[in-house]
A and B are shown apart, each in its own frame.
Chain A
Amino acid sequence: MSMEKLLLRNIGVTDSHTLAVYQSRGGYQSWEKVVRNMKPVELIEEVKASGLRGRGGAGFPTGMKWSFVPKDSPKPKYLVCNADESEPGTFKDRLLIEQDPHAIIEGTLIAAYGIQSHTAFIYIRGELVAGAKILERAVEEACRAGYIGKNIFGSGYDLDVIVHRGAGAYICGEETALLSSLEGGRGWPKVKPPFPATHGLFGCPTVVNNVETLAALPWILERGAAAYAAMGTEKSKGTKLFSVSGHITRPGVYEVEMGYPFKKFLEEDCGGVPNGRKLKGVIPGGGSMPVLRPEEIEKVNLDYESVQAAGSMLGSGGVIVMDETTCMVRAASNIARFFAHESCGQCSPCREGCHWMEKIFHRIEHGEGQTGDLDLILNISGNIMGNTICPFGDAAAMPAAAFIRKFRPEFEAHIAEKKCTVAC
């Protein structure tokens, strides 16, 4: 794969996390251009034209999200950078946070300007201690350089940026739970409507954007929306980061042009499954997305539409590769345990259902499975799907059902034999 790196352009450069290096590579020029020359509405139109979509998992068009913020609201508006990266198998934002924090900050500033926010928050996952320190230092540098603060570039525009550490709950990556947490409350998703665009942080208009989404903005403003939109497919523009882990020769974070063939990516770019083993399954978009069988990815391209057509979702781009030695019962059980542990407990189907599924997966894994357990899990997951306050319910239900549907004979054998039947 040979393509210009947009998001990873500073990764690997010595001291890429410092302001000096970032500036030497053209950093904050987009910010200056935006503040000096662009009206917020022009900025929003530019981002809309780029086709940029949210990289946190849902893929919602970024410019459109900004445009939902009421322009005449008397309340303060808030921009929140979602750096609560916790999706299993996902570590793309972390790389940016630790090695290119100024790109995130510059993107945050641009987005804040777009919605005319004067206070932006970077909500970072509690466990990312080093990342939080790096971001704080970078914010400090940017303040001293005048990119953040009062009367930026003499324009009269004021903006403050606050780095806020989460307390370590996966659910706080869900935007309304993040806002509850940021407000100082329990990390519980809010009932929608109303939506954050009108009633977000402290009841004020708020936009929450993912780290990767924001980090793409400096490039888009530098090269223009058309250049960004020229990459990718008809509906999935630009590039996307993929964090590849599991049974793969070269794990790591990759930047890929949208629409790149999945199989080629795994085999050529990531070096394929090591040790001469065969691929058994791959989760394309983080632990909450349905697993795909090898034959299902034959014709899949890495863009939102293609992955969805194959029955899964691009999600966060957390690619988890499993080779033929993987016990799918154990893998499913592991994922179910994660979601049971992380369910916030607010709404009934998720609170009760996630633990129920986890307990059944656990008993199957440990040789105590019963006939009917698989259908029971499918039924429970179906009862959770679509019936919860936030997408967490779906995130727990989808992988559980997918593992069973796609590897049913292995589950049945595991139940019948009362142990793992995968030779390893």
Chain B
Amino acid sequence: MDVVKIIIDGKEVVTTKGKTVIQAAAEAGVAIPHYCYHPKLSIAGNCRMCLVEIEKMPKLQIACNTQVAEGMGVLTQSPKVLAVRKAVMEFLLINHPVDCPICDQAGECQLQNYYMEHNREASRFEVGKQHDRKKTIFGPNVIFDGERCIKCTRCVRFCQEITKTDELAVINRGDHSTIALFNDSVLDNPLSANVVDICPVGALTDRDFRFKVRVWYLQKTPSVCPGCSTGCNISVETYQNRIARFKPRINEAVNSHWICDEGRYCFHELTGGERLTTPLIRQEGGLVPATWENALHAVLAGLRSAKAAGVLSGRNTNEEAFLFAKLMKKLAPGSPLEVCYQERELNETQKILLSPDRSPNFRGARDMGVGANGGCGSLLEKLLAGDFSAGYIVGEDLLGANGADVTRRAALQKLSFLVVQDIRLSETAKLAHVVLPATHFGEKEGTYTNRKGRVQKLNAAVIAPEGALQDWQIFLRLLDSAGEKLSYSTPSQIFQALAEEVALYQGISYATIGDQGIQLGGGGVEQS
């Protein structure tokens, strides 16, 4: 790469040929304000917010479309530049409704931010604002407010360049220009809600999230999407101990700037419903509340030396899988363990991000020894064939929607002992002899290993309800009761232990995983 030196505001910046001024400046920590520029989209150059002074050029130049050249002098804070930013801000706001009090973008709006940074003037516009549509539904997840739109065309370019689905277009001319659905299309591609994330203003909002929470009340926890094994990096954003939304977190080695809609909204399904807050034990007349002590005792008694099938959810962490494998080996040696895994067909747009499964940690679980016995399908077949006397099912409802799978139901009913560990009283749990209340992805700390072998960190975004225990805590207590005295008691310590025992994970720690993850096997797939 050819090294190029440029001077930004008097300071020498070393960059590489082919970079634009806005990129070189960002790398040097100089933020040049912009709306239409997006690192993953083509250059539109339409907002004019990034105009800077380039020495020896008579006119101001847009930093997003100006390539660096050796010795180039760039001024980002000159009087001319500051004046034009102020002017552009004024232009962008004259027809804007300034309806911040009812706008979901308020608090994370670049119009608000840049107004405070670069304008702070009263409006000189008093000749009647141009009106536009206030609530046009673009698709199942996205709604459009034309009056707030600054026509940066990021959304249009996203649909042209990333999903290649072309649902959006600019129509009309001049200050009547607006964004619209092209012909009769609907913005319902598998990545559609990303246009909300890249919209720098409140024009495109998320139909699921809007009017729910003011964004400044949100607590943000970096984590990994539990939707499938791609392992998209997300920020889990919560309010009053509830997940309000997922937002993508940039990771060029995994999901770049995007997440899919299925992943974005999967927390509803994965966290909703009435939570179990006490263990249950089957007695005559049905499942009745029990103490943890009694419930765990019953599990130990029921599984010990049984021929048990162990089924772990693909949403359990590596730490949990590691302990589950240990536990089953101790209690019911020789029992086959599998992690839930099922594939489906994906279309071309889905393939941009989605993996065919919905098991974010199937690979990690297998690495920990849960699996490799012929797969989940084969285990279930054996279950149907009556090969087992007991079962331990964690975090999955094997009976499908509304408990529709009658053959599996019959097979599970034949087991002499079934323990189900889940967050809800699922249809499967209703068949159990012991039900253990556990936690979901958003409540736990741990690691997932994605389909491509990247180990990434989950962090607890919300607190589990009282009465439930973390899956790893349950396994630890069972191991303890079974006589396996272990020296560790936190996910971090469990990870340390597994990194010592599982060859593939040697040398990895929470610190090296960081918030961008680490590639197993020396980072061959890793990108900068």
Tell me whether A343 and B175 are in contact in the complex, defined as CB-CB below 8 angstroms, given that A191-B65, A348-B92, A352-B95 are known contacts.
yes
A351/B45 in contact, CB under 8 A: no
Please judge, given known A-B contacts A352-B94, A376-B124, whether A345 and B173 are in contact too, CB under 8 Å: yes
Nearest CB on A from B37, distance (A): 11
Number of A-B contacts (CB under 8 A): 92
CA distance A343 to B174 in the complex (A): 5
Complex CA distance for A383 and B85, rounded to whole angstroms: 10
Interface residues of B in 28-87 (CB under 8 A from A): 43-49, 51, 59-60, 62, 65, 84, 87
Which residues of B sit under 8 angstroms from A283, Cβ to Cβ? none
Given known pairs A345-B151, A356-B127, A359-B128, the reply for A387 and B60 (CB within 8 Å) is yes
State the CA gap A363–B126 with chains docked (Å): 11
Residues of B within 8 A of A359 (CB): 127-128
CB distance from B79 to the nearest CB of A (A): 14
In Å, the complex CA distance between A163 and B209 comes to 52
Q: Is B422 an interface residue (CB 8 A)?
A: no
> When the two chains form the complex, which single residue of A344, A353, A363 contacts B91, counting CB atoms closer than 8 Å?
A353
With known contacts A345-B170, A349-B88, A388–B175 Cβ distance under 8 A? no
* Chain B positions within 8 Å of A389 at CB level: 45-46, 48
Give chain A residues whose Cβ lies under 8 Å from the Cβ of B150. Answer: 348
- Tell me, rounded to whole Å, the shortest Cβ–Cβ distance linking B76 to chain A: 16
Q: Contacts A191-B65, A356-B125 given: A347-B47 contact, CB under 8 Å?
A: yes
**Chain A interfacial residues counted at CB < 8 A:** 29
| Whole-angstrom CA separation of A389 from B60 in the bound complex | 11
| Interface assignment of A169: CB less than 8 Å from any CB of chain B | yes
Q: Is the CB of A349 within 8 A of B48?
A: yes
Which one of A344, A387, A388, A389 has the highest number of Cβ atoms from chain B below 10 Å of its Cβ? A387
A191 touches B62 (CB 8 A): yes
Cβ contact within 8 Å between A387 and B176: no
Query: How far, in angstroms, from A191 to B67 measured CA to CA in the complex?
Result: 13
B90 contacts the other chain (Cβ, under 8 Å)?
yes
Cβ proximity bits B122-136 to A, threshold 8 Å, 1 near / 0 not: 001101101000000
Q: Is B489 an interface residue (CB 8 A)?
A: no
Q: Which residue of B lies closest to A170 (CB)?
A: B173
CB B467 to nearest CB in A, in angstroms, measures 56
Closest residue on chain B to residue A347 by CB atoms: B46
Q: Any chain A CB within 8 A of the CB of B402?
A: no
B130 touches A355 (CB 8 A): yes
Expressed in whole angstroms, the minimum distance between the Cβ of B161 and any Cβ of chain A is 14
Count of interface residues, chain B, beta-carbon cutoff 8 Å: 35
The listed residue (A193, A349, A387) touching B65 by CB distance below 8 A is: A193
A340 to B176 alpha-carbon distance, docked (Å): 10
State which of B44, B48, B90, B170 has its C-beta within 8 Å of the C-beta of A387. B48
Scan A323-345; emit 1 where CB is below 8 A from any B CB, else 0. Answer: 00000000000000000111111
Q: How far is the CA of A169 from the CA of B177 in the complex (A)?
A: 14
Residue from the list A346, A348, A376 in contact with B88, Cβ < 8 A: A348
- SS class, residues of chain A in contact with chain B: helix
Residue pair A388, B62 in contact (C-beta under 8 Å): no
Contacts of B46 in A (CB 8 A): 191, 346-348, 389
**Given A191-B65, A352-B94, A386-B60, are A345 and B127 also a contact pair (CB < 8 Å)?**
no
A33 at the interface (CB under 8 A from B): no
- The chain A residue with its CB closest to the CB of B58 is A386
Least CB distance from A21 to B in Å reads 41
A360 at interface, CB cutoff 8 A: yes
Kindly name the residue among B51, B65, B87 whose own CB sees the greatest number of chain A CB atoms within 10 A: B87
- Say yes or no: is A307 at the interface (Cβ < 8 Å to chain B): no
Q: Which residue of B lies closest to A362 (CB)?
A: B127
A354 at the interface (CB under 8 A from B): yes
What 0/1 readout, one digit per residue, does chain A (165-206) give for beta carbons within 8 Å of chain B? 000010000000000000000100001010000000000000
Q: With CB as the reference atom, state the residue of chain A lying closest to B93.
A: A352
With an 8 A cutoff between CB atoms, is B172 at the interface? yes
CA distance A387 to B377 in the complex (A): 63
CB pair B84 A186 closer than 8 Å: no
B92's nearest neighbour on chain A, judged by CB, is A348
Contact present for B87 and A191 (CB under 8 Å): no
Q: Are B91 and A383 touching (Cβ within 8 A)?
A: yes
| Nearest CB on B from A362, distance (A) | 8
Question: Would A383 and B170 count as touching, CB distance under 8 A?
Answer: no
Which of A344, A363, A383 is in CB contact (< 8 Å) with B90? A383
Chain B 260-276 near chain A by CB (<8 Å), digits 1 or 0 = 00000000000000000
- Contacting A347 at CB < 8 Å: which of B48, B127, B130? B48
- Roughly how many angstroms separate A344 CA and B171 CA in the complex, as a whole number? 10
Asked if A355 contacts B92 (CB within 8 A), the reply is no
Closest to B66 in A: A193
Contacts of B176 in A (CB 8 A): 345
**Is the Cβ of A386 less than 8 Å from the Cβ of B91?**
no
A386 to B151, CA, bound (A): 20
Measured CB to CB, the closest approach of chain A to B45, in angstroms, equals 4
Bound state CA distance, A386 and B81, in angstroms? 12
* A349 vs B45: C-alpha distance when bound (angstroms): 12
A122 to B271, CA, bound (A): 63
Report B73 CB to chain A, min CB distance, Å: 19
Q: Which of B45, B84, B94, B151 is the one whose CB lies under 8 Å from A191?
A: B45
Chain B residues near A351: list those with CB within 8 A.
91, 151, 174-175, 177
A345 touches B44 (CB 8 A): no
Looking across the interface, which residue of chain A has its beta carbon closest to that of B59? A386
Chain A residue with Cβ nearest B171 = A186
- How far is A386 from B51 in the complex, measured between Cα atoms in Å? 11
Question: Assuming A348-B46, A389-B45, is B170 touching A356 (CB within 8 A)?
Answer: no
Separation of A386 and B87 alpha carbons in the complex (Å):
12
Distance A134 CA – B87 CA, assembled complex (angstroms) = 47
A354 to B177, CA, bound (A): 13
Complex: A354 Cα to B173 Cα, angstroms = 12
Residues in chain B near residue A346, CB distance under 8 A: 46, 151, 177
- Which residues in window 345-377 of A have CB below 8 A to B? 345-349, 351-356, 359-360, 363, 376
Contact across chains for B174 and A344 when beta carbons are under 8 A apart = yes
Query: What is the bound-complex CA distance between A388 and B92, given in angstroms?
Result: 14
Q: Enumerate 5 A-B pairs (CB-CB under 8 Å) in ascending A order.
A: A341-B174, A345-B170, A347-B45, A347-B48, A383-B90
Given contacts A345-B173, A355-B175, 17 further A-B pairs with CB under 8 A are: A169-B173, A191-B62, A191-B65, A347-B48, A348-B48, A348-B49, A349-B48, A349-B87, A351-B174, A351-B175, A352-B95, A352-B175, A356-B91, A383-B91, A387-B48, A387-B59, A389-B46
For the complex of A and B, 6 pairs with smallest distance between CB atoms = A345-B177, A191-B45, A383-B87, A359-B127, A352-B91, A343-B174
Residues of B in contact with A (beta carbons under 8 Å apart): 43-49, 51, 59-60, 62, 65, 84, 87-88, 90-92, 94-95, 124-125, 127-128, 130, 150-151, 169-170, 172-177
Residues of chain A whose beta carbon lies under 8 Å from any beta carbon of chain B: 169, 186, 191, 193, 340-349, 351-356, 359-360, 363, 376, 383, 386-389
